[in-house]
Amino acid sequence: MRNSLVLRVVATTIALLMTAAVVRSQDPTAPQPAPTAPAPTAPTKPAPKPHKIWTDDDVATLRPPADDDVAQKAAQAQGDGSAKLHGEASPIGHSSPQTKLPNSLEEVERAINDSLEDVRDQKDTLARLSKELHEIPEDQRAERMKEIERRTAVLQESQKELKALQDRRDDLASRAAQNAIPASGVPR
């Protein structure tokens, strides 16, 4: 008797649950649960992602400015003019869209120190090349003179860049001084 009572309760519970499931599946406003497993008859694979085709322009935008400087100096040292073909930046004195001066005094000071070191190295190289000019055979002197002229032009550009950085430092320093002094002239 007890077994039959348990059996009836279980059967009634199952019948109620199945009835609720049938009613729910026929109700169009009821939210449909997401299927838990994909249908085994039609496996769908997402379309493969198209591969990006990299161009020289894309790669050039990924390079940091330091790489551009190294490439520019190497091209100038070789004298093949490839730096102009690859969009060589104009000197800072004649700002181009690619040239951007630092925005803080610390960055400007760092750039000035780097530029001073660069100018010093270029002057040392020019002095060495000029000294070697008198010691090399006559047939190599024309090529050495071209190299000296090329490096002199690079030195002049570096000096223009240094001047622009120094002007920027002075401008930032004067702006900082103006911001430190209140409009009324009375310190805070």
Q: Which two tokens stand for residue 170?
A: 């002075």
pLDDT, the chain, mean: 75
pLDDT of 91 over the 50 cut? no
pLDDT band at 63 (very low <50, low <70, confident <90, very high): low
pTM greater than the 0.85 cutoff: no
Q: How far apart are CA 127 and CA 72, in angstroms?
A: 21
Place of tokens 């040292």: 77
Q: Which two tokens stand for residue 118?
A: 């660069």
Burial (CB < 10 A; 0-12, 13-18, 19+), residue 93, is: middle
To the nearest whole percent, how much of the chain has pLDDT over 90? 20
- The per-residue pLDDT for range 139-169, each reduced to its tens digit, is 888 888 898 999 999 999 999 999 999 998 9
Q: Which two tokens stand for residue 9?
A: 């309760």
| 41 Cβ neighbours under 8 A, 6+ residues apart | none
